[in-house]
Amino acid sequence: MMSQLPLDLGHRTALGGADFHVAASNREAVAWLDRWPDWPAGGLAVHGPPGSGKTHLAHVWIDRAGACLIGPAELAGLDPHRVAAVGPVAIDSLGEAALDAEAERQLLHLYNALVASGRTLLLLGRRPPARWPLSLADLRSRLVALPAVAMAMPDDELFAAVLGKLFADRQLTVGAEVLRYLGARIERSFESARDIVDRLDRAALAARRPVGLPLARELLGDDDED
């Protein structure tokens, strides 16, 4: 029998609050977002490793707060007062590379405009603002003064939930035994979780088989049936 060519039709990543899993590794960050809009200094910085759920959690907050999400590349060209007049703002992927002078000035103006209008700013990055490569002293002093909360690498509970969510995003239903098996054998990172789910999805399509333990074992080259 010929194998089926796995067509890359894409999949929708669920970003709603209903499928955000609260665990020890993210509970403090969730608690801070639950405190909104009661944030000291009008803002909050959430930091953690890539794929730790920062952007997902930010989308939950964006839906709740009616906020907009922008990236570092958009800072230099925005109108701070016009953006601040619309509502709260979240900025993703900060601190990974130095901003140019104009982007830093606009970020400072945006922060000041948000505070003046009683609105809030959510910052997301791998590291806390104190470790960001900022040149503008006024901007650094304001961002470092914000509360900063970390999101850690996933524990067993969260990692299993993340694997289940990634499968569900692709409209795949897998048993708990598959989640336990994968969680015990792949690197405990969100990048590895996304990679194995993608590989299993493609293998299942190509072989016209369900995503179960036999397929997972074959894909990982595991002959141990225990």
User: Which strands make up the sheet holding 148-150, listed edge to edge?
Assistant: 68-70, 89-94, 121-125, 43-47, 148-150
Model pTM score: 0.75
Q: Tell me the CATH number for domain 156-220.
A: 1.10.8
Provide CATH 3.40.50.300 ranges for the chain. 26-150
3.40.50.300, 3.30.1300.10, 3.30.565.10, 2.60.120.700: CATH of 26-150? 3.40.50.300
Neighbours of 22 (CB within 10 A): 14
**What residues have CB less than 8 Å from 222, skipping those under 6 apart?**
185, 216
Task: Please report, as a single letter, which amino acid is at residue 153.
Answer: M
For the chain, residues with pLDDT lower than 70 are 1-19, 223-226
| β-pair partners for 154 | none
d(CA 90, CA 151): 17
What integer pLDDT is reported at residue 225 of this predicted model?
53
What integer pLDDT is reported at residue 131 of this predicted model?
97
What integer pLDDT is reported at residue 35 of this predicted model?
95
Provide CATH 1.10.8 ranges for the chain. 156-220
Pairing of strands 121-125, 68-70: unpaired
SS (H, E, C) the chain: CCCCCCCCCCCCCCCCHHHCCCCCCCHHHHHHHHCCCCCHHHEEEEECCCCCCHHHHHHHHHHHHCCEEECHHHCCCCCHHHHHHHCCEEEEEECCCCCCHHHHHHHHHHHHHHHHCCCCEEEEECCCHHHCCCCCHHHHHHHHCCCEEECCCCCHHHHHHHHHHHHHHCCCCCCHHHHHHHHHHCCCCHHHHHHHHHHHHHHHHHHCCCCCHHHHHHHHCCCCCC
